[in-house]
Amino acid sequence: MARPAARRDHRRYWTAIILTALSLALLAQLVRVYVPLAFELGEEIGGTTGYLAAGAVALAVFASPAIGGIGGMAGRGRVALVSGVVMLAAARLAIQLVHPIPIWLGTVALVTGLVALPSVVAAARRAGGDTALLVGVFIGLALDTAIRGGFLTWDVAWQEGAAATGIAIGLGVLAIVAAVALSLEASSPEAPGLRLALFGPFFALQLLFLQNPAAIASQARLSLPVAVGVVLAGDALALAIGSLRLPIGSMLAGFLMVLAAVGGYFITEVTGTSASILFVAEQTLLLLLLARALIAEPLRPERIARLAGACALGSVGFVALVFAYQVHYEVRLPFSNAVVPAVAAATVGMGAIPRRGTIAGRVPRGAVVIPVALLAVPAAVWASGPTLETVAGRSGPMRIVTYNIHGAVNVDGQVDPEMTARVIEAQDPDVVLLQEVARGWPIFGGIDAAEWLSRRLEMPYLYVPAADEQFGNAVLSRLPVRATTTGELPFGEGPQQRSYLALLLDAGGGQELSVIATHLQESSGDPETRERQILSLLEVWGGASPAIIAGDMNMQPDEDDVQLFLEAGLVSVQDRIGDPCEPTAFEPKPDKPCDRPDWIFATPDLGLSAFVIVESAASDHLLLAVTVTV
């Protein structure tokens, strides 16, 4: 009799893990859809008020797990569990079938999913204990990363077509099957439910960094498939170390918490191989700390209202930390946002220290197999990638494009890099200068726009950060690059650290073309900042000829700073061969009928022709293109 009972317990335990993993994958996609829509709402309101208003709405939305505790709505029974998972799956499918996704639908879908959260958590804990919940979370993160990696970080929720719809339906159906199959007869001892709120800061770190392939690709200087592999390998390593059941006392937990907090602080600073090591080490530390914090104790089952409250507290903590980190780049804060991941890591660690005695976490060894198996996804993506090669300069006309792509988020708040790619592709460019290139920022859906566009357009790219490693300027070029220089521009009022990317290109026939891409500060608040940035940019240029300097200058034709370029001997392409009053903003401001934040400057020895400004809703800026002849 013992063996059948053990097998039942084993099935129940793994069913709880699978249910948790699938539910997390569905909910994570809802979160990544909501965040760009909320950001778009803040931009529509405008200014500091808009961002703070969007943040306040987000806090209210993420508090919705508390609804599950009203009158025991979430409950602990099978009906409540299956109903909750069906609601989650339906919400996920709804945003798959309605495109463009309106903000009301994104909000309702996320609220629906969050209301179902306490039911899933309660069932997983009852059937398999907190260890099943923790392991299910890590496997869910790995599954979510593999799915995103298979689509080069463009979430399937934003996409149309059979593959994207099939994934949404498949995840939902499997989650419902797991909910129906889960036996709730067992009643495992549980850690205090309030400690479940620790998952809030934990998930904030996952969204911002640790489970963010675009972030590690940018910081570690890796291709995206390799970065996905590093994330999955980090998940597998964390689970493997957790399966060793290392004894951790309060003193060691405190030491690990300090290490995690220090690692969190420096996580925004490290690049190269060090970034890969730090990301993986941080993930392992967090698993060990959570395993200790959530270890079972002989307590009476938590009331569902308290459990729902803990889920709501963690959910609000999650969005508060993510908002604090992101808003720093729009609203200047009195502290560095590097403290946000440090605080998140320390908060997770503080939940582990109060536990009595020396406790070993109990992660099953079999859990390691799943993220290891999922490594097949990035391997397949890497093997099927296009060959990105430059072509020898042909000593003829070259098509130059500059475009502020707004993180590949269109004017409706939809993450749509395909729309961006088609606008660029139509110009058949040789060189593409891009601004506001997202490489992992949640407000742009976590996409790696640099890698995605490079593969889609089959053009190699170079990148330089312009705020942090996850947001900057990029240049895609079919022409061979002979030399590259990058650097920061004077900071001034901030809050973003503007930069430039200078290239020396082989134009063919022994000719070279200097190209400088940049994104300058707006003149409002501290008008001297942009002037200093322009002077610095002109110094980098150094009078080289022939040359192009282009990008989002945040500068209007009637402003004095235009003369700095003209007096240096450059010509404005739009003023020379285009309509001087044609806007480059998608929606010109009422007080600026000739709203022209984007510019192309050229040396007089370049032949200029076929200048166009392309109307498209792919970004809040319009694409500028010109043909140049050396």
Full 3-state SS string of 579-623: CCCCCCECCCCCCCCCCCCEEEEECCCCEEEEEEEECCCCCCECE
592 confidence band (pLDDT: 50, 70, 90) = confident
pLDDT of 361 reads 62
Looking at the structure, do residues 51 and 120 belong to the same domain, yes or no? Answer: yes
pLDDT of 360 reads 64
Looking at the structure, do residues 300 and 405 belong to the same domain, yes or no? Answer: no
Looking at the structure, do residues 337 and 409 belong to the same domain, yes or no? Answer: no
Is 391 contained in some domain?
no
Looking at the structure, do residues 294 and 248 belong to the same domain, yes or no? Answer: yes
Summarize the confidence of residues 300-329 as an average pLDDT.
85
Q: Which CATH number covers residue 251? A: 1.20.1250.20
Is 210 contained in some domain?
yes
Distance from the Cα of residue 23 to its chain's centroid: 20
Looking at the structure, do residues 483 and 594 belong to the same domain, yes or no? Answer: yes
Q: Using CA atoms, how far apart are residues 91 and 76, in angstroms rounded to an integer?
A: 21
Ranked by mean pLDDT, which of 67-71, 388-392, 581-585 comes out on top?
A: 581-585
pLDDT of 1 reads 43
Q: Which of 203, 100, 567, 495 is nearest to 328 (CA)?
A: 495
191 confidence band (pLDDT: 50, 70, 90) = low
Is 390 contained in some domain?
no
Residue range 505-537, pLDDT digits in tens = 998 888 999 999 999 988 766 678 999 999 999
Q: Using CA atoms, how far apart are residues 352 and 341, in angstroms rounded to an integer?
A: 18
Looking at the structure, do residues 539 and 591 belong to the same domain, yes or no? Answer: yes
CA distances from 566 to 116, 257, 386 (A): 60, 56, 41
Q: Is residue 303 pLDDT above 70, yes or no?
A: no
Kindly report which listed range (76-85, 316-325, 495-504) carries the lowest average pLDDT score: 76-85
**Two tokens, residue 154:** 């463009």
CA distances from 570 to 545, 596, 611 (A): 10, 17, 17
Residue range 243-258, pLDDT digits in tens = 887 888 889 999 999 9
Q: Using CA atoms, how far apart are residues 332 and 496, in angstroms rounded to an integer?
A: 9
Whether residue 225 contacts residue 216, with contact meaning beta carbons closer than 8 Å, is answered with no
190 confidence band (pLDDT: 50, 70, 90) = low
Looking at the structure, do residues 460 and 492 belong to the same domain, yes or no? Answer: yes
Q: Tell me which of 383, 415, 438 is where a domain ends.
A: 383
Contacts with 313 (C-beta within 8 Å, 6 or more apart), sequence order? 194, 197, 200
The two counts, helices (H) then strands (E), for the chain are: 19, 14
Looking at the structure, do residues 360 and 439 belong to the same domain, yes or no? Answer: no
Angle at 534 between CA 451 and CA 605, to 5 degrees: 85
Looking at the structure, do residues 239 and 138 belong to the same domain, yes or no? Answer: yes
Angle at 203 between CA 163 and CA 181, to 5 degrees: 60
Q: Is residue 394 pLDDT above 80, yes or no?
A: no
Residue range 230-239, pLDDT digits in tens = 999 999 999 9
User: What DSSP designation does 72 have?
Assistant: G
Look up the pTM and report it: 0.94
181 confidence band (pLDDT: 50, 70, 90) = very high
Is 214 contained in some domain?
yes
Looking at the structure, do residues 365 and 465 belong to the same domain, yes or no? Answer: no
Neighbours of 124 (CB within 10 A): 30
Amino acid identity, position 508:
G
Is 559 contained in some domain?
yes
In sign, the C-alpha dihedral spanning 568, 574, 580, 584 is negative
Is 6 contained in some domain?
yes
Looking at the structure, do residues 321 and 404 belong to the same domain, yes or no? Answer: no
Contacts with 158 (C-beta within 8 Å, 6 or more apart), sequence order? 33, 99, 101, 414, 415, 416, 445
Q: Within a 13 Å sphere around the CA of 112, how many CA atoms are in the beta-carbon half?
A: 20
Q: Which CATH number covers residue 475? A: 3.60.10.10
pLDDT of 422 reads 98
Distance from the Cα of residue 442 to its chain's centroid: 4
pLDDT of 302 reads 54
299 confidence band (pLDDT: 50, 70, 90) = very low
Q: Using CA atoms, how far apart are residues 462 and 473, in angstroms rounded to an integer?
A: 8
Question: Rounded mean pLDDT of the chain?
Answer: 91
Contacts with 224 (C-beta within 8 Å, 6 or more apart), sequence order? 149, 152, 153, 213, 214, 217, 381, 448, 451, 452
Q: Tell me which of 354, 383, 412 is where a domain ends.
A: 383
386 confidence band (pLDDT: 50, 70, 90) = confident
Contacts with 596 (C-beta within 8 Å, 6 or more apart), sequence order? 555, 556, 557, 574, 582, 583, 584, 585
The backbone torsions φ and ψ at residue 461, rounded to the nearest 5 degrees and listed phi first, read -130, 155
Q: Which residue has the higher pLDDT, 193 or 161?
A: 161
| Full domain range(s) for residue 178 | 2-383
Is 393 contained in some domain?
no
Is 389 contained in some domain?
no
Contacts with 180 (C-beta within 8 Å, 6 or more apart), sequence order? 78, 82
Q: Using CA atoms, how far apart are residues 211 and 221, in angstroms rounded to an integer?
A: 16
User: What DSSP designation does 193 have?
Assistant: G
Summarize the confidence of residues 141-151 as an average pLDDT.
97
**CA end-to-end distance (rounded Å), the chain:** 85
Residue range 409-455, pLDDT digits in tens = 999 999 999 999 999 999 999 999 999 999 999 999 999 999 999 99
Starting at the edge strand found earlier in the chain, the sheet holding 571-572 runs: 481-488, 499-508, 511-519, 547-552, 598-602, 571-572
Contacts with 383 (C-beta within 8 Å, 6 or more apart), sequence order? none
pLDDT of 630 reads 87
Beta 511-519 vs 547-552: how paired, if at all? parallel
**Two tokens, residue 142:** 């790995």
Q: Tell me which of 383, 417, 450 is where a domain ends.
A: 383
Whether residue 212 contacts residue 206, with contact meaning beta carbons closer than 8 Å, is answered with yes
Q: Using CA atoms, how far apart are residues 597 and 595, in angstroms rounded to an integer?
A: 6
Q: Is residue 465 pLDDT above 90, yes or no?
A: yes
Q: Which residues pair with 623 in a beta bridge?
A: 614
Q: Which residues pair with 431 in a beta bridge?
A: 400, 477
Summarize the confidence of residues 186-205 as an average pLDDT.
80
Looking at the structure, do residues 50 and 182 belong to the same domain, yes or no? Answer: yes
Q: How many domains does the chain have?
A: 2
Q: Is residue 188 pLDDT above 80, yes or no?
A: no
Distance from the Cα of residue 216 to its chain's centroid: 11
Q: Using CA atoms, how far apart are residues 211 and 446, in angstroms rounded to an integer?
A: 10
